[in-house]
Amino acid sequence: MNIFITTFHSHYDAMCVYSVLSKEDMKAKLMPIPRKLSSSCGTCLRFESDTGNEDIINKIISTNECEAIYIYKNTKYELIYKNN
């Protein structure tokens, strides 16, 4: 099972993507951004997935709401997507 962290510009953006994932029956939750990723007091979305990662990530990217997506591996966050 992979753990992903998605960061956003605003809490509202995070809520929008959360509602998209909820409709897919994804195991997701909104939470404060881990300090290792940002010093802001912003909101991130944590979700777990073992299959179809690319589909889900593409779905999140297609909303054009997220700033970045990280995968959490061995207590480290690896950047896998950044919205420029």
Binding site for other proteins (CB under 8 A): 9-13, 15, 30-32, 35, 39-43
CA distance to 5, 64, 73, per residue, from 46 (Å): 5, 17, 13
For the bound state, the minimum distance from the C-beta of residue 1 to other proteins, rounded and expressed in Å, comes to 21
- Rounded CA separation 41/63 (Å): 22
For the bound state, the minimum distance from the C-beta of residue 24 to other proteins, rounded and expressed in Å, comes to 20
For the bound state, the minimum distance from the C-beta of residue 20 to other proteins, rounded and expressed in Å, comes to 13
Q: Which is nearer to other proteins, 9 or 26 (CB)?
A: 9
Taking only Cα atoms into account, the Rg of the chain, rounded to an integer number of angstroms, comes to 12
